[in-house]
């Protein structure tokens, strides 16, 4: 999603202040790791009232279905804003010690910033650690911080290549399987029609980290309060070698992502591909009606032609430490993401993280009229199984994202090597982390 820089900076600074004063590690509840779900089942029987903050489109239907199944539980549904808008309010509530929800939607990239200061409940104490086998490895890894389990995964964003088949057919362009082929396609398309571009990108932190992830990079690692940052590792170099050619060759549309013009360019064929997460079909259908029947989905190009993907986006539901009824809140999270709530989520166009749902014949074999009747979930589910392992975010990732345009963004703007922008980003992140009480080293 397009970054909301001011809100992100506010949220990030508040979170960093909390991180700086946090003591111990996120595994302080590890002694409860072998808990059972008995108390969760009992809480559902006892009933009560909880508050849920989320921006997911399926929330209203999910809450209605939950309350019908458990009529003695009342869920107050609140949309406190999307992403960083919610996080700012959430952190204010954490700081005040009250006023927050019982359950909150938190993106995977933001989860460490709430888990590390001890703001979230470790769900291991309810026996939820036994659910590991039911989720894709990448999403399960994302909700585990240190030795704690700080949410259950809801959706995932394994990346794929969304391409305008009409453009590709018109200009005789083969669907690229490698990044070299993607470069060739970009050049061929723009040479045939200078008003068309292979994709759009004017610099986005989430896209950059996902592309480094897919290239095999591991720029961030955290061990307690010790952090290492290397935005010039082999994966980063692989990606910049390709992407520099697109930026400097002026082969990318520079239209602002998520703007009206961006949607228009997706609809009229100006932008021929998007490399993005499996949640994108819902965006196409809701905002790019003119593209219906023109687009298709293929595996993400790779460097050697062998399948490998990365995650781009995705969220979990977490229980706040300040909840007055954390066990009932945990029961609701279990129902949402490991129970009947998944049905409503998928029905609304969500892309699940549970392996049974991803591999269900009805899900895999569903044809999608927007994509010309293609069974797109077969491509997207395969991508979820090909996500590169070992990725982790910074414990202050939201702040990192907030200063991306001041560093890497300048490389895009000036048409200079992205490597230089990554170096400036790394330097700023090392300095910032050390100022906030981490021990951060580079390289």
pTM of this structure: 0.92
What was the pLDDT predicted at 23? 35
Homologous superfamily (CATH) for 159-310+376-442 = Periplasmic binding protein-like II (3.40.190.10)
CA-CA distance, 235 to 215, in Å (whole number)?
Answer: 5
CATH class of residue range 37-156+313-359: alpha beta
Q: How far is CA 31 from CA 28, 74, 264, 358, in A?
A: 7, 31, 54, 33
Distance CA 443, CA 433 (A): 15
Q: How far is CA 237 from CA 219, 232, 242, 276, 443, in A?
A: 11, 6, 9, 20, 13
> What pLDDT score was predicted for residue 31?
33
Q: How many CB atoms lie within 10 A of CB 166?
A: 16
pLDDT at residue 2 in the model: 34
**Residue 34 has what pLDDT?**
54
Query: Quick one: pLDDT at residue 134?
Result: 98
Crossing angle for the helix pair 38-46 and 326-338, to the nearest 10 degrees: 100
The whole-number pLDDT of residue 218 equals 98
Q: Do domains 37-156+313-359 and 159-310+376-442 have the same CATH topology?
A: yes
Check residue 443 and give its pLDDT.
Answer: 86
pLDDT of res. 8: 42
Domain ranges of the chain: 37-156+313-359, 159-310+376-442
pLDDT by residue, tens only, the chain of 443 residues: 333 333 444 445 555 555 544 433 343 333 344 579 999 999 999 999 999 999 999 999 999 999 999 999 999 999 999 999 999 999 999 999 999 999 999 999 999 999 999 999 999 999 999 999 999 999 999 999 999 999 999 999 999 999 999 999 999 999 999 999 999 999 999 999 999 999 999 999 999 999 999 999 999 999 989 999 999 999 999 999 999 999 999 999 999 999 999 999 999 999 999 999 999 999 999 999 999 999 999 999 999 999 999 999 999 999 999 999 999 999 999 999 999 999 999 999 999 999 999 999 999 999 999 999 999 999 999 999 999 999 999 999 999 999 999 999 999 999 999 999 999 999 999 999 999 999 999 98
């Amino acid at each position: 999603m397009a970054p909301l820089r001011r809100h992100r900076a506010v949220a990030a600074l508040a979170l960093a202040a909390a991180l700086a004063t946090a003591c111990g590690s996120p595994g302080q509840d590890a002694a409860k790791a072998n808990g059972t779900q008995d108390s969760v089942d009992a809480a559902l029987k006892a009933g009560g009232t909880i508050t849920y903050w989320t921006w997911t489109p399926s929330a209203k239907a999910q809450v209605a279905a939950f309350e019908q199944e458990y009529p003695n539980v009342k869920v107050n549904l609140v949309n406190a804003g999307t992403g960083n808008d919610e996080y700012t309010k959430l952190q204010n509530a954490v700081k005040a010690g009250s006023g927050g929800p019982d359950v909150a939607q938190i993106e995977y990239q933001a989860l460490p910033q709430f888990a590390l200061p001890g703001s979230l409940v470790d769900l291991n104490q309810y026996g939820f650690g036994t659910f590991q086998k039911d989720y894709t490895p990448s999403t399960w890894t994302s909700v585990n911080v240190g030795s704690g389990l700080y949410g259950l995964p809801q959706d995932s964003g394994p990346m794929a290549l969304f391409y305008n088949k009409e453009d590709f057919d018109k200009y005789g362009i083969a669907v690229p399987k490698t990044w070299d082929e993607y470069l060739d396609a970009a050049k061929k398309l723009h040479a045939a029609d200078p008003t068309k571009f292979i994709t759009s990108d004017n610099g986005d932190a989430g896209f950059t980290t996902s592309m480094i992830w897919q290239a095999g990079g591991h720029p961030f690692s955290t061990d307690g309060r010790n952090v290492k940052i290397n935005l010039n590792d082999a994966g980063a170099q692989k990606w910049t070698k390709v992407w520099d050619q697109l930026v400097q060759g002026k082969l990318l549309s520079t239209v602002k992502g998520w703007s009206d013009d961006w949607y228009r360019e997706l609809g009229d064929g100006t932008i021929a591909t998007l490399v993005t997460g499996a949640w994108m079909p819902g965006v196409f259908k809701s905002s790019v009606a003119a593209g219906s029947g023109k687009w298709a989905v293929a595996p993400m190009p790779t460097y050697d032609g062998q399948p490998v993907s990365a995650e781009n986006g995705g969220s979990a539901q977490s229980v706040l430490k300040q909840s007055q009824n954390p066990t009932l809140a945990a029961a609701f999270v279990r129902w949402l993401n490991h129970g009947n709530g998944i049905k409503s989520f998928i029905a609304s166009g969500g892309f699940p993280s549970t392996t049974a749902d991803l591999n269900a014949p009805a899900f895999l074999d569903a044809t999608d009229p927007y994509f010309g009747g293609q069974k797109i979930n077969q491509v997207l589910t395969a991508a979820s199984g090909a996500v590169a392992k070992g990725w982790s975010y910074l414990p202050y990732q939201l702040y990192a994202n907030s200063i991306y345009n001041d560093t890497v963004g300048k490389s895009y703007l000036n048409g200079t090597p992205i490597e230089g922008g990554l170096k400036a980003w790394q330097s700023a992140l090392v300095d910032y982390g050390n100022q906030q009480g981490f021990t951060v080293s580079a390289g």
